[in-house]
Structure 1
Amino acid sequence: MTNNDSPVLHLLDASLTLNSNTGPVEILHGISLDVRQGETLGLVGPSGSGKSSLLMLMGGLEQATGGRVAALGQDLTAMDEDALARFRRNNMGVVFQSFHLIPTMTALENVATPLELAGVKDAFDRAQAELQAVGLGHRAGHFPAQMSGGEQQRVALARALAPRPAILLADEPTGNLDEANGAAVMDLLFGLRDRSGATLVMVTHAPELAARCDRVIRLRDGRIDEEAAREAAE
């Protein structure tokens, strides 16, 4: 773990290049960024600016092709896939736009799965408590197909928070929800984050969600928009 003076997430000149049918495509260019313990950081910018790719680098879901990415003092760029998976399991919760629930498992089983993988003995009791926290204790035995989009995203939130991660990453968590459900999910997300003290990094297109973050980073063409950062500081 890290102390209060060290960044929870540290990126130094991080870049990402992916191969395509037409050759290499540079997605991110020289990103340097620190995120502090307990901070809520919003990543904003136009579509294709690299927001989700940057979030994936922070979570070790994409490997940087240049520079360094560290989380909780551990160098993610030096880890293989197995080590990255173990690190995420023990330290990170990830919430995606499209929920990614396991369709053949009940809500309770979906939330309990990461706890069981981590060897938590009271996995199902903890999972039930997390479902209660998001207002879905009564839906524990239901499958994803039996739930609305808003309910599925709440299950995904409960699953991400159940292991009590130090870092919570959210990629457009309200993107597939209507306005009312989106607002409810975001209230839950910030409330759960406050309860757990996790560091939250969130990709969003919604100005009202970005406004709730402690700090906002704007990306443009795979780079941090320094001009926007200067204007925000003035």
Structure 2
Amino acid sequence: MSDTLLSLSDVSLTLQGNAGPVEILRGITLDVGAGETLGMVGPSGSGKSSLLMVMGGLERATGGRVLALGQDLTALDEDALARLRRTNMGVVFQSFHLIPTMTALENVATPLELAGRQDAFDRAAEELHAVGLGARLDHYPAQLSGGEQQRVALARAAAPRPRLLLADEPTGNLDQTTGEAIMDLLFGLRDRHGSTLVLVTHAPELAARCDRVVRLMDGRIAADEDQRTLRGAAE
């Protein structure tokens, strides 16, 4: 494997529910190499999205250790985590999380402005052109289709040129044709920027495009398949 970009060691996550503590993740150990694409699959409630959130420091592990981009996420405070995400991670959710009072261009440029980039609007326009929205820069989210809104979200995630791109069911709210177009764009962004891509999906065809697929069951890794080896054997 290439240099490890993301490393989880015996990671657990326990949250407090109405009936007491609930174990979400149970002893996850996993390495992801730089430039790798990793798909995470499994039934609802298996811990996929929670694991993705832990990888990005959006949820703090209650046990174990999470190393990402050379940083120990379990030792960083919220401000340090926010700075790390802002410059090194891109996150795409099933829900688009666009600011309704901002245009597509402003939605993509604002995080870059907050990071202090002088070329925020130029880079935002470049990324929107790259996802096929060059003619929609001045449109507000309500004026865009669901697929177009997800394209804006992809452009926003890719604009900082992140080393790590995390995607949680990026095609979950889209019809099949639009979802396939978003899949192509997602992998295209990964190829263009050389990012490491980790995605949660229920779509077998999306998982099949990844280098590796990890299957979760009841908060544990039930299988870890290197699809490059399987594809090589098939050929």
Task: State the TM bucket, normalised to the shorter chain.
Answer: over 0.9
Deviations, residues 158-205 of structure 1 (Å, cap 9, x unaligned): 000000000000000000000010000000000111010000000000
CA contact (8 A) 2:37 2:211 kept: yes
**Residues 104-123 of structure 1: pairs in structure 2 closer than 5 A:** 104-123=101-120
Quote the Cα distance in structure 1 between the aligned partners of 2:25 and 2:36.
23
Equivalents in 2 of 1:123, 1:210: separation in Å? 33
Q: 61, 66, 86: which is aligned to 1:64? A: 61
The code of the aligned residue for 2:28 comes to I
2:233 counterpart residue number: none
Residue number in structure 1 paired with 2:195: 198
What displacement does 1:231 show?
Answer: 10
Post-superposition Cα deviations, 1:137-157, rounded to whole Å, max 9, x if no partner, equal 110000001100000000000
Q: Do structure 1's residue 176 and structure 2's residue 181 form an aligned pair?
A: no
1:43 corresponds to 2:40:
yes
Aligned partners of 2:39 and 2:198 also within 8 Å: yes
- 2:147 is aligned to 150
List runs of 5+ in structure 1 lacking aligned partners: none
1:134-149 correspondence runs (5 A): 134-149=131-146
Aligned residue pairs, count: 229
5+ unaligned residues in a row in structure 2: which ranges?
231-235
Offset at residue 6 of structure 1 (A): 3.5
TM-score w.r.t. the length of structure 2 is 0.95
Change (3 A) 1:161 1:231: closer
Instruction: Tell me how large the CA RMSD over aligned residues is.
Output: 1.5
- What's 2:73 paired with? 76
**CA deviation string 1:103-149 (max 9, x = no partner):** 11100000001111111101001100100000001100000011000
Residue in structure 1 matched with residue 99 of structure 2 by the alignment: 102
